[in-house]
Structures are given as C-alpha cells and as structure tokens.
Amino acid sequence: MPYMHSQNAEHLVNTYSDMILRISYMYLKQTCDAEDICQEVFIKLLCGDYKFESSEHEKSWIIRTTINACKDHLRTDIWKRAVGMENMPEIKAPDEPDSELIELVMELPKNYRISIYLHYYEGYKVKEIASMMGKSENSISAYLSRGRKKLRLMIETDSE
C-alpha cells in the first residue's frame, strides 16, 4: 500500500517548513522570497493528489519541488523589479546563522552551497542530490569537492 502524505496541514508545516525555508534561503538569499517558496510548496502539496511510497519519498518530493520553485522564481522578471525603499514595508532581517561556518557556506556559489547543504545538513548522498538538483553525480561530487576546498581557503584566510 503506498504511503500517503498526511492531510494535516499543521503536521506538514511542523515537519517540513524549516527545511523548505533553509533550502529556499540557500538559493535565493532573501527571507521573504524563501517564505513565498515555502507557502507555494505547501499549497502544491496540500492541493495535489500525491501518493508517496514512504516518508522519505515525500521528503524527496518536497526538496525537489522546493528547488524547482526556486529556479522558477529566479527565472521570472518579478524579482528584478525595483521599488524605492520608501515604498517598501519593513522587512524582517534573516535570523543570524547558527555558526560562522554557515555564513561562509552562504558565500559559496549557488550549486556548491546547495550541494553542501543537502549533503552535510540534510544527510543526502551524492546520487540523491544529483536527482534532486537535476545534475549528474559527477557534477555534485565536483561541487562538494570544490565547495570544501573554497571553504578551507576561506577559513584559512579568516584565521590569519
């Protein structure tokens, strides 16, 4: 019998919202955009008739959908429109990163940043990340290797 996601919206939000926000923020570097993506993913999940084989399948679908929504967002012209600061509502600044390492990870190029996050913070294997990001396993391995190398250089530079 296929695993069906919980119809309880509160359960879904409690289970996945932090992960969706972190992934979206890694892509978009904007708290308000990450919140929009989070809402978009939940609406898609709750309004769709998705049947998942397991909770891991559900989580993988949510990560893939989050990444796709971020890519779609970056392709639109809406985010490029400028508005004078006087017309902007006050926006909450993103929470401070948990550590200096997160700050350094956020400075990496997007593919390195997302690969490192999914591998080290969410615990996914290279093959799974490749599937989620629509890239080859070799590309993901290269992103991880290059990202670690850049982080090492950044840490060494900071400690001098």
- Predicted confidence band at 24 (pLDDT cuts at 50, 70, 90)? very high
In the chain, the percentage of residues whose pLDDT exceeds 70 is: 79
Q: Which of 52, 107, 125, 30 is nearest to 15 (CA)?
A: 52
Residue predicted with more confidence, 82 or 156 = 156
For residue 101, pLDDT over 50 is answered with yes
Q: What is the pLDDT of residue 40?
A: 92
For residue 85, pLDDT over 80 is answered with no
Spatial contact of 52 and 61, defined as CB atoms under 8 Å apart: yes
Spatial contact of 34 and 89, defined as CB atoms under 8 Å apart: no
What lies within 8 Å, CB to CB, of 36 at 6+ separation is 73
Q: Which of 12, 18, 10 is nearest to 98 (CA)?
A: 18
What lies within 8 Å, CB to CB, of 21 at 6+ separation is 34, 35, 38
Backbone angles phi and psi of 5, in degrees to 5: -65, 155
* Whole-number Å distance between alpha carbons of 6 and 117: 26
In the chain, the percentage of residues whose pLDDT exceeds 90 is: 34
pTM over 0.85? The answer is no
